Amino acid sequence: MSLFFYLEKGASLDPAAPCLTLDGVSRSYREVLGLAESVARALRRSGVAPGDKVGILSANDSTAFTCVFGISRAGAVWCPINPRNAAGENAELLDLFDCSTLFYQPAFDDLIARIAPDLPKLTTLIRFGEGDELAQGFDEWLASARDDPALAAEQPGDVAALVGTGGTTGRPKGVMLTGRNLETMSAITLMSYPFDGAPVFLALAPLTHAAGVLCLPVLARGGEIVIMPKPDVGRFLDLIERHRVTHTFLPPTLIYLVLGHEALDRTDLSSLQCFWYGAAPMSVTRLAEALERIGPMAQLFGQSEAPMMISTMSPAEHRHPDGTVHTGRLSSAGRPSPLVTVAILDERGQPVPGGERGEIGVRGSLVMAGYYRDPAATAEASAHGWHHTGDIGFLDGEGYLHIVDRAKDMVITGGFNVYSAEVEQALLAHEAVRDCAVIGLPDEKWGERVTAVVELRPGAGLDAAELIAFVKERIGSVKAPKQIEVWAELPRSTIGKVLKADIRRTFSGT
């Protein structure tokens, strides 16, 4: 199933319904479908053939997002390029992906001028706005194919999108996502979460990541996508109330900002059916607060290689039948989702007994086709017939999946395995801590000492000894940090994940 199908399906339900809304201006399904068809014709006129790679470098924008479906309609492969990446990383991805064509916003003129001369495979540049010496203007480019005949319906290729890994652990890789992968993700979404009526999805998080693929099932139901071009928590709350938003997604770091915003408790959130959170572990304490102050929180766990829906936890699962918060489940990542098989694996790739910890392995049609032009990495990730996530976890007696750490982040101190996520949850329970990261640093006595870097809430003060004692009371002295550092702000990736590699480099001085 091509990406274009989701737009076409939504248009078949009501062509006049609002599809994409930006800054109060809505485009109907009929308008978006027509623009996507025009983009597809112009791509063909530009020499783009089925299977060719086409990148989009843009902040959240309705025209740019429409081009995703035009790329699909032309049989090409969508390559989302994150505008928050460094120039070098984006140049590396464009080269790795063999992109022949790139759409971009004028805001990135300087970046394109720096990297384009070193990308000989990138032969066509299309600038949203007027053309210049490097690129064709979008409207002029579209007009060149205005009289071309409509494209024939074609069988979509296997690969629908090429997605770059975060690059936080070394050289980025290209994840090949097929139409079947995204169809599986969409089917899981629709069967695992509430969708009552035509949904209204508010996209604040980047459409190059989770927010983008979560739009697909919304479109299939004829829903409206309300697009925010840049983060603004106050405007986010205003748009929920104004547009009667039913679904949205934010990573925990932005949810914490929502909880701290003065307008939250006077905003009408009654339209919300499903407020997804994911992309990083969330404080159990703050999640419990969100359930009371926001409402229908819903968890998802996935990764680029198995998008979004390895495990799910609906709003109802966060509560007991009597409506009280089910605190025992809040530290979990939900149950393995329908259409996915999850196992906890030992070092030999064999499943371990229930309750034991090991690497989380995944099977099913959600899992990627592999890494683009990287058979060695593909073989390593799919050893023993499982996709290896790199996450350490366990399945509890109810079948809920608990993620305790990234394999590379486990701290071995005094011969004991300490999972950083467990320590971080204890730290986040303290009222002064806004966010934190736990790493292991070399120590002559302990081998590694548990070290915490914390970011405080605005106006809060902190005594390190008091915080260490606070953690000891909750998880014991072995797991409690031996060292605590307070930083004004933790380093984060472009999608809000804390960059532990950067923290380690700061301590090592490299």
Average of per-residue pLDDT values in the chain: 92
State the first-to-last Cα distance of the chain, in angstroms, to the nearest integer: 47
Q: Report the percent of the chain where pLDDT is more than 70.
A: 97
| pLDDT above 90 (res 268) | yes
- Both tokens of 18, joined, read 């609002």
| pLDDT above 90 (res 311) | yes
pLDDT digit string (tens) for 13-32?
999 999 999 999 999 999 99
Mean pLDDT score, 360-369: 97
Written as one letter, the residue type at 349 is G
Mean pLDDT score, 100-116: 95
Are 27 and 62 in contact by the 8 Å Cβ rule? The answer is yes
Q: How far apart are alpha carbons 438 and 57 in whole angstroms?
A: 33
| pLDDT above 50 (res 167) | no
Name beta bridge partners: 144. none
Phi, psi torsion values for 85, nearest 5 degrees: -70, 155
Q: How far apart are alpha carbons 420 and 250 in whole angstroms?
A: 22
Q: How far apart are alpha carbons 124 and 278 in whole angstroms?
A: 36
Are 206 and 60 in contact by the 8 Å Cβ rule? The answer is yes
Chain position carrying tokens 């548990």: 450
Two domains, one topology: 4-8+26-157 and 410-508: no
Instruction: Identify the CATH number of the domain defined by range 4-8+26-157.
Output: 3.40.50.980
Q: At what angle do helices 420-428 and 284-293 cross, to 10 degrees?
A: 50
Are 14 and 219 in contact by the 8 Å Cβ rule? The answer is no
| pLDDT above 80 (res 39) | yes
Give the count of beta carbons closer than 10 Å to the beta carbon of residue 353: 9
| pLDDT on residue 146 | 87
Taking 3-state DSSP, the helix, strand and coil percentages for the chain, each rounded to the nearest 5, stand at 35, 30, 40
Name beta bridge partners: 483. 451
| pLDDT on residue 412 | 81
Nearest to 218 by CA among 21, 496, 495, 494: 21
Instruction: Give the CATH H-level superfamily of domain 410-508.
Output: ANL, C-terminal domain (3.30.300.30)
Give strand ranges (E) for 119-184.
Answer: 124-127, 136-137, 159-164, 174-178
Q: Please compute, for residue 426, the number of CA atoms within 13 A of its CA located in the half-sphere on the CB side.
A: 22
Mean pLDDT score, 93-98: 94
Q: Report the percent of the chain where pLDDT is more than 90.
A: 74
Written as one letter, the residue type at 408 is K
How does residue 83 score in pLDDT terms, banded at 50, 70 and 90? confident
Q: How far apart are alpha carbons 403 and 303 in whole angstroms?
A: 13
Instruction: Give the residue with greater pLDDT, 157 vs 203.
Output: 203
Extents of the domains making up the chain:
4-8+26-157, 410-508
Give the count of beta carbons closer than 10 Å to the beta carbon of residue 149: 7
